[in-house]
Amino acid sequence: MHKFKALIRKDLQISKKTLMIPIWITAGFYLLILLISAFAYFSGKLSMDLGNIQGSPPSETINYIVNMAIMGLPGLISLIFIIILTQGALNENIRNNSELFHRSQPVSIWYQSASRYIVGIAGNWLVLFAIAIFNFLLVAIILAIVDKFMFTTALAGMAQSIVSFMKTGLIIGSLTFFCSAVFKDKAFLQGLAIIVGVQFLFIILNALMQWHLPLPLSYLIKLINTATPSSISPEIFNENVSYYIMEIWKKILINWNTLLQVAVSGVLFVGATLIYKSREIK
């Protein structure tokens, strides 16, 4: 465990700059909003009072939707950086000419691989959490001023948004990690090109030969796809928020699909490590 900690620390040190970029992007985004708001305030055009909007949804709905929606951009940025970090996970040392140095250390290949996998995926999750905490506080303050802040509903909205992105990140990150073991350069694009190529090939074969070959891209999208608020009727939401939130939890987390996602990710990690282990170091 001591060795594993050292590997995680080292991989975090190496990836620190890349991991911090989503925070800088979010900070830049907020700075821009702040500047625009300041400009609007001083020119007398700033007006925020959700209570006065005619036909506005109840506070519970606002708390839930706003907290969920505000994580949309950081979530997407997080996915992009998961791809960036995992697609180089098993190749970056070769590009950096330090593969011999790292592989000459008395530490298991499984530990080395796991450390890069965890930093590439969970490292970005941590960053997403950090942004979420900041967003939550910010939204809480704004909602408390302009309407009403409801802690439990707001927290549920944010947590469900984060969990959706974490699960998507896990699948995409694991797939890209696997591609990094197979391809030494532009792993994600090459992997995607092959999946899309096979998809088209199977579509043509299915059409021509009347076969029923499974379509890999469709399966992948199905695997990634997690429920969003739009997948449940808004009427149900307005009638019973707690019930609605629980239904969403069941759709995005408490189901067999989650288990399948974790299992597929695990298989992709094991496969990637076995390929990496069998690579010759020239």
Partner 1 sequence: MTQENVIQVKNLTKYYGKFKALDNVELEIPPGRIIGLLGKNGAGKSTLMRCILGFLKHKGEIEILGKKITKHQESIHKNIAFIPDVNSLDDRLTVKQTMDYVSAINSSWNNEKAMELLASSDLNPNQKVANLSKGMKTKLYLLITLSLDVKILLLDEPTLGLDIVFRKEFFNTILGEFYDETKTIIISTHQVEEVEQILQDIIFIDEGKIILQQNIEELKNEYSIFTVPSDQKEKLEQHNPKVINKTLGHVSAVLNSKIEIQSAQINRPSLSDLFMEKVGGSNA
Contacting positions for partner 1 (CB under 8 A): 2-3, 5-7, 9-10, 13-14, 93, 96-109, 277, 280-282
> How far apart, in whole angstroms, are the C-alpha atoms of residue 162 and residue 85?
19
CB of 21 to partner 1, least distance (A): 15
CB of 87 to partner 1, least distance (A): 17
Cβ distance 223 to 174 under 8 Å?
Answer: no
DSSP 3-state of 91? coil
Please say which residue, 100 or 270, places its beta carbon nearer to partner 1: 100
For 248-263, letters b (16+ CB in 10 Å) and e give: bbebbbeeebeeebee
Please say which residue, 2 or 212, places its beta carbon nearer to partner 1: 2
CB of 106 to partner 1, least distance (A): 4
Cβ distance 195 to 216 under 8 Å?
Answer: yes
Please say which residue, 15 or 67, places its beta carbon nearer to partner 1: 15
DSSP class of residue 215 equals: P
> How far apart, in whole angstroms, are the C-alpha atoms of residue 191 and residue 216?
12
Cβ distance 23 to 131 under 8 Å?
Answer: yes
CB of 133 to partner 1, least distance (A): 28
CB of 265 to partner 1, least distance (A): 25
Please say which residue, 110 or 249, places its beta carbon nearer to partner 1: 110
The structure tokens 């992009």 sit at: 80
Can you give the C-alpha Rg of the chain in angstroms? Answer: 22
CB of 94 to partner 1, least distance (A): 11
Please say which residue, 94 or 224, places its beta carbon nearer to partner 1: 94
CB of 9 to partner 1, least distance (A): 7
DSSP codes joined into one string, 95-141: HTT-HHHHHTSSS-HHHHHHHHHHHHHHHHHHHHHHHHHHHHHHHHH
Please say which residue, 33 or 281, places its beta carbon nearer to partner 1: 281
DSSP 3-state of 90? coil
> How far apart, in whole angstroms, are the C-alpha atoms of residue 261 and residue 17?
29
Please say which residue, 12 or 192, places its beta carbon nearer to partner 1: 12
